[in-house]
Structure 1
């Protein structure tokens, strides 16, 4: 088997997670996290549509991880993101983190807004 080293070209991959936290770029972050162009961005969770609107135009794909399981997106958040023209892919947070890392390794313009598994 041939193993190819993945390069993230200066961006921060999601390296791990646990109950209530994420590990991104060697840092442990408790609570929701927005990772994308330029690294980590402040994000207040599902009530904070402004942070997702702010990255519009800098990403082609925005993953929204809803925690341990997929769940409905709050209407205000969904509508705010839709007005920017961004695509919003909603899934469970572990799946969103994996998809983000794959597209990031391909050099794509991608971001992930992730609610921790286990709440917050």
Structure 2
């Protein structure tokens, strides 16, 4: 699916996604990554959904997001809440969704000027 925003000048945005990949500003990524409006970090998680730990979520604190969108791949899967409880106790929201929903939601919230982080399992 291709996505379009009115203005993403100077920001990262998802321009497309599909089975096993996302495009960020037109560049294809086939491995897990973290995307914020002003930052792209490849290889956010080495491995798959089963390899998620609390440390992966704690590492997101350094980016000071208001909200974290966890994209769990082509299907929706929920990690144990204890893994991301540290974010929530600090007032950082966590939303779990499939990859496509995470991409669309990120673009919408980022365009509104929100400090959102998309942590994606591709």
Q: Structures share a fold, TM > 0.5?
A: yes
Contact 2:19-2:74 within 8 A present in 1 as well? no
What residue is the counterpart of 2:99 in the other structure? 93
- Report the Cα offset of residue 10 of structure 1: 1.4
Q: C-alpha distance in 1, partners of 2:41/2:59?
A: 8
What residue is the counterpart of 2:61 in the other structure? 53
Q: C-alpha distance in 2, partners of 1:77/1:25?
A: 30
Q: C-alpha distance in 1, partners of 2:104/2:19?
A: 17
- Report the Cα offset of residue 83 of structure 1: 4.3
Segment drifting more, 12-21 vs 46-55: 46-55
TM-score, L = length of structure 2: 0.75
Q: C-alpha distance in 2, partners of 1:77/1:52?
A: 12
What residue is the counterpart of 2:45 in the other structure? 44
* Equivalences, count: 110
What residue is the counterpart of 2:49 in the other structure? none
Return 5+ residue gaps in structure 2 as ranges: 47-51
TM-score, L = length of structure 1: 0.76
- Residue 107 of structure 2 aligns to a residue in which SS? helix
* Root-mean-square deviation (Å): 2.1
What residue is the counterpart of 1:115 in the other structure? 121
Which segments of structure 1 move beyond 4 Å, counting only runs of 4 or more?
A: none
- Residue 73 of structure 1 aligns to a residue in which SS? coil
- Residue 88 of structure 1 aligns to a residue in which SS? strand
Return 5+ residue gaps in structure 1 as ranges: none
